[in-house]
Every structure is written in C-alpha cells, then in structure tokens.
C-alpha cells in the first residue's frame, strides 16, 4: 500500500519539470522522475550533501520550507540515488554465482569492494577452511552487491 501511494505521488510530481544542471550528480540520474522533480538548488549539491539532506537542514540552508510533496520527492530521490550508487556493474551476477560455486567468491567480493572492507577476507578464510562455508557466505553477501 505504501509503495502504491509513493508511486502515485511520484507520478503526479513527475509532471513538474526542473532543468537538470550539468556537471553535478543529478546529470547521472537525470532520467529518474524523482531527480527531475527536485528544485535546481538541490540538484547542484554535492552527492554526500544531498544524501544527508533533511527537510530541516534544507530550511536552514535556504530559509524555505519544503512542502509535503517536495519532502516525499526528496526522500524518494535520495533512496533511488543510494540504491543506484550501491549497485556495481563490475561483475555480472551470473559470473558471481559461478565464482562462488567454484570457491573464488572472495575474488569477486574483493573486486566489487575495491579490496576494501572485510567481506572478501572473511570469504577467503571460510573457503580455505572448508569450501561449503565460503559458498554459503558468498550467497548471503550477494544481496549487498546486487
């Protein structure tokens, strides 16, 4: 029910058109209706500033208050940008599954995380100790990447 309401609000807001500013994060996601419906001031922000923005901080920055529709649009756009920035197209999902089955999931995790974090280390240790725990760990962590 909540998703349906959100879709109805987004579709009604998508009729609003604001020009996308080139050279900012908004150009990367310009095809999304939520991003197009944001005021130009929000589209010019840095990505990390935009993701941390709340209606109260927007009011402090601009002196203007966001309406309920604009607040919903802001939250939907932030959710979309977070989801898209999490996705990594380095390794296709099918290849990830094949690597996990053959015990090379630690390699796929390392590439997807740019060799940062502990997921790939944990998978490597589990795979070395016994193959099955490494495969299970790889399939559990797969939802973080896809």
Element (H, E) at 9: helix 2-13
137-144: long-range contacts, CB 8 A cutoff, minimum separation 24: 137/105, 138/96, 138/99, 138/100, 138/105, 138/106, 138/108, 138/109, 139/100, 141/109, 142/93, 142/96, 142/97, 142/100, 144/86, 144/119
Give the pTM.
Answer: 0.43
pLDDT of residue 84: 73
pLDDT of residue 4: 41
* Secondary structure (3-state) at 103: coil
- How many other C-beta atoms can be found within 10 angstroms of the C-beta atom of residue 63? 7
pLDDT of residue 97: 93
- Predicted confidence band of residue 98 (pLDDT cuts 50, 70, 90): very high
Percent of the chain with pLDDT over 90: 25
* Secondary structure (3-state) at 134: helix
53 against 20, higher pLDDT? 53
pLDDT of residue 64: 84
CB burial readout 91-124, b (16+ within 10 A) else e: beeeebbebbeebbbbebbbebbeeeeebbebbb
The residue assigned the tokens 């020009």 is 19
Q: Cα–chain-centroid distance for residue 146?
A: 10
Print the SS3 string covering 26-88. HHHCCCCHHHHCCCHHHHCCCHHHHHHCCHHHHHHHHCCCCCHHHHHHHHHHHHHHHHHHHCC
What are the tens digits of pLDDT across the range 57-73? 888 888 888 889 888 88
């Amino acid at each position: 029910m909540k998703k349906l309401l959100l879709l109805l609000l987004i579709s009604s807001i998508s009729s609003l058109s604001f020009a996308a500013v080139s050279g900012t994060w908004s150009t990367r996601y310009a095809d999304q209706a939520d991003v197009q419906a944001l005021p130009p001031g929000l589209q010019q922000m840095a990505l990390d500033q935009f993701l941390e923005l709340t209606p109260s901080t927007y009011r402090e920055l601009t002196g203007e208050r966001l309406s309920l529709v604009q607040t919903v649009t802001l939250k939907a756009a932030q959710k979309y940008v977070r989801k898209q920035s999490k996705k990594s197209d380095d390794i296709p999902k099918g290849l990830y599954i094949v690597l996990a089955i053959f015990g090379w999931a630690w390699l796929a995790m390392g590439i997807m995380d740019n060799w940062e974090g502990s997921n790939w280390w944990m998978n490597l240790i589990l795979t070395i100790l016994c193959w099955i725990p490494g495969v299970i760990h790889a399939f559990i962590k797969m939802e973080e990447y896809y």
